[in-house]
Chains A and B, each alone.
Chain A
Amino acid sequence: DAKTTQPPSMDCAEGRAANLPCNHSTISGNEYVYWYRQIHSQGPQYIIHGLKNNETNEMASLIITEDRKSSTLILPHATLRDTAVYYCIVRVHGEYDYKLSFGAGTTVTVRA
């Protein structure tokens, strides 16, 4: 799988949008961008994934650059409960690539 690079930490004000960057310059054509998060003392939680088009769900939006070498996860209105470590990973879809592996991620702290 391609490696990803994320800033180690960021702060965000409650109610504001949080924009989390991720670099994946060696991503290959069949690899998807996935985001998970892990709130303290909880299991990881799936957020969103995409291939090349921008995606939006009830939790977040994912913006992938045209060259697919980077992406941004957007939490539109951050709340205190969004404080967590956010992991960006790239992986191939399919039956044979099921092992999740996280890097250090970005520790996001939402402040009141």
Chain B
Amino acid sequence: GAGVSQSPSNKVTEKGKDVELRCDPISGHTALYWYRQSLGQGLEFLIYFQGNSAPDKSGLPSDRFSAERTGGSVSTLTIQRTQQEDSAVYLCASSLDPGNNEQFFGPGTRLTVL
């Protein structure tokens, strides 16, 4: 079956612009996670969705970051007024339910802020 997909695969933007990153989880997966990975760095948790609600937004680095999920499926991560330090690979993962620790990752969106 189809895995987690993300779009775009690459995004280059200018400092100060807004960007939207999209994630399509595996069908039927109720839990969805956003992470980011900077060059040579580990995985940084951003936000977790259970259905359409986000019980844990603790990893969002600033109020310029927001995310939503609609229909219990697609999720969008929005970064407003991008900064150079936002440059990273943004990864989305989904799991059957939050208690299931097998998270399936998408290929990521590489964001470059000039």
Residues of A within 8 A of B (CB): 32, 34, 42-46, 49, 91, 93-95, 97-104
- Which B residues between 1 and 54 are near A, CB-CB below 8 angstroms? 4, 31, 33, 35, 42-43, 45, 48
Beta-carbon contact of B102 and A93 below 8 Å: no
Q: Could you pull out 9 A-B pairs where Cβ atoms are within 8 angstroms?
A: A42-B108, A46-B103, A49-B101, A91-B101, A95-B99, A98-B56, A98-B103, A100-B33, A102-B43
| A46 and B100 alpha carbons, distance in the complex (Å) | 12
Range class of the B interface residue count: 20 to 34
Residues on A with beta carbons closer than 8 Å to the beta carbon of B104: 46
User: In the complex, what residue of chain B is closest to A91 when comparing beta carbons?
Assistant: B101
User: In the complex, what residue of chain B is closest to A98 when comparing beta carbons?
Assistant: B98
Beta-carbon contact of B101 and A93 below 8 Å: yes
| A108 and B91 alpha carbons, distance in the complex (Å) | 22
Residue of A49, A91, A94, A100 with most partner-chain B CB within 10 A: A100
Residues on B with beta carbons closer than 8 Å to the beta carbon of A42: 107-108
| A32 and B4 alpha carbons, distance in the complex (Å) | 25
Residues on B with beta carbons closer than 8 Å to the beta carbon of A103: 42
Cβ contacts B86-114/A at 8 Å (1 or 0 each): 00000101010111011111111000000
